[in-house]
Amino acid sequence: MKIQSLIEKLEQKQDYFLELEEKLADPSILQEPFLFQKFSREHAHLSRYSQKTKGYLKIYHLFQDTQELLAEENDPEIREVAKEEIQLLEEQLEEQKREMTLLLLPALPHEGRNLFIEIRAGTGGEEAALFASLLGRMYLRFAERNELRTEMIHTNSTGLGGYKEMIFSIHGKNVYSLFHQEAGIHRVQRIPVTESGGRIHTSAATVAVLPEREENEIEIDEKDLQIDVFRASGAGGQHVNKTESAIRLTHSPSGIVVSCQDERSQHKNKARAMNVLRSRLADLREKETHAEESGLKREQIKSGDRSERIRTYNFPQGRVTDHRIGYTAYNLEALMDGEMDELLEKLIQSENELRLREID
């Protein structure tokens, strides 16, 4: 992209940022929660780059002023200084050009939202459940390292410490940008604890990433819900086997079932389960829309892009491979302890490269 075209687009972004500030300062916008949330997310996205944009535009305008000075000035000494200044400014503009082009990328569709991560054991029986547990720990450790807030929503454990299903939320800055590419099939290769012969087995777990939705985005008719109350299971004190606090919601039109057990508050469990249900319904509707636009059959909707194997974790070799970007590293132990920074950064870089091609 040429500098002049880049500058025009950056100025448009900066103008829109200022326009958003005016809209958010308008008291009437508070009467429209959906628009307020939309504008707030857009403002938060653009505010991350506002200072860099201002700095780059300042360099460009100084470059222009110095060029005008050179064209009008006759003094040899001043002209020489102006030429040196122009060369320096031009180098700065070129050095920062790629970074500034990245700022033109629009926000991701759900950027700024908190999210739910759902992990389910796939093929591999008990070993798949143990691997699902390890994946959950990996994400939770990463969140802890980066001071992101997490809340466990639901678990369905097995006898050996694995999980058939684990659902939790993650709250914090840029969580959707960080995690949205984790959705898909994760494959593990290792010797299971249940294997006496020492043979390497291949198992899998699926990860779903669902952006959190507001109540006014997805309407759920209570008449479409079947609500079951049952006793929570797992660690949590004596009340676990005495209090029917866990909630199971069944949404009749879609067939979606959501369970939640905070182990203490039935009201809180229902609120959390409703949040998950809204996110799943929105995800399903988006897939239906995408399927219609792509001419896909309805039967393909449920699997979506999650049917793709995205990553392999090879324990005997200490290797992790992300098949989408050709990334391989031999830091599996550290990765499983939540040190995901390098991998996530590579995924974001690859995604940005693809998105940049669309705006060039």
Q: Domain with 120 in it: what CATH number?
A: 3.30.70.1660
* 169 located within any domain: yes
Q: What integer pLDDT is reported at residue 348 of this predicted model?
A: 95
In this predicted model, what pLDDT tens digit does every residue of 269-307 receive, in sequence order?
999 999 999 999 999 988 888 776 555 444 333 333 345
pLDDT for 303: 38
Residue 34 is predicted with a pLDDT of 80
User: Do 337 and 196 fall within a single domain?
Assistant: yes
Model confidence, pTM: 0.79
Is there a single domain that holds both residue 313 and residue 203? yes
Contact at 8 Å (CB) between 57 and 7? yes
- Integer angstrom CA distances of residue 349 from 38, 309, 342, 343, 355: 26, 20, 11, 10, 10
Strands of the sheet with 184-190, listed across from one edge? 149-157, 163-171, 115-121, 201-211, 184-190, 309-314, 319-322, 327-329
Final residue in a domain of this structure, among 102, 133, 157: 102
Does residue 241 share a domain with residue 189? no
Number of domains in the chain: 3
Examine residue 108 and state whether it is found in any structural domain, yes or no.
no
pLDDT tens string 211-224: 999 888 888 999 99
If asked whether residues 194 and 312 sit together in one domain, one would say yes
* Sequence letter at residue 182: E
State which residues form the domain around 63. Answer: 3-102
Mean of the pLDDT values across residues 226-253? Answer: 73
41, 113 contact by CB (below 8 A) = yes
Looking at the fold, whether 8 and 55 belong to one and the same domain comes out as: yes
Long-range interactions of 149-155: CB distance < 8 A, separation 24+ = 151/272, 153/116, 153/260, 153/272, 153/273, 153/276, 154/258, 154/259, 154/260, 154/261, 155/234, 155/261
Residues 273, 323, single domain; the answer is no
CATH number at residue 269: 3.30.160.20
Q: Look at residue 137 and tell me if it is in a domain.
A: yes
Q: Is 80 exceeded by the pLDDT of residue 72? A: yes
Regarding whether 69 and 44 lie in a shared domain, the answer is yes
Q: Which residues of 65-83 are buried (b: 16+ CB within 10 A; e: fewer)?
A: ebeeebeeeeeeeeeeebe
Tell me if 47 is assigned to some domain. Answer: yes
Express as a percent the part of the chain with pLDDT over 90.
Answer: 62
Q: Which of 278, 298, 318 represents a domain boundary (last residue)?
A: 298
**Res 99: pLDDT:** 87
Instruction: Round to whole Å and give the CA distance between 213 and 202.
Output: 35
Task: DSSP letter for 264, please.
Answer: S
Q: Are residues 162 and 229 in the same domain?
A: no
Q: How many residues does the chain have?
A: 360
Whether the per-residue pLDDT at 360 is higher than 70: the answer is no
**Integer angstrom CA distances of residue 286 from 173, 211, 293, 321:** 24, 12, 11, 29
In the chain, the amino acid numbered 122 is: G
Q: What is the largest CA-CA distance in the chain?
A: 92
**Distance linking the first and last C-alpha atoms of the chain:** 6
Whether 53 is in a domain gets the answer yes
Q: In what order do the strands lie in the sheet with 225-230?
A: 225-230, 246-251, 256-260
Residue 109 lies in a domain: no
360 found inside a domain: no
Asked which of 280, 298, 316 is the last residue of a domain, the reply is 298
Among 133, 80, 91, CA closest to 3: 91
Same domain membership, residue 343 and residue 197: yes
Tell me, yes or no, whether 128 and 197 share the same domain: yes
Report CA Rg, the chain: 26
Residue 359 belongs to a domain: no
Residue 97 sits in the same domain as residue 7: yes
Q: How confident is the model at residue 102 (pLDDT cuts 50, 70, 90)?
A: confident
Query: Mind listing the pLDDT tens digit for each residue in 133-177?
Result: 999 999 999 999 999 999 999 999 998 889 999 999 999 988 999
Pull the structure tokens for residue 64. Answer: 């222009």
Shared domain check, 326 and 252: no
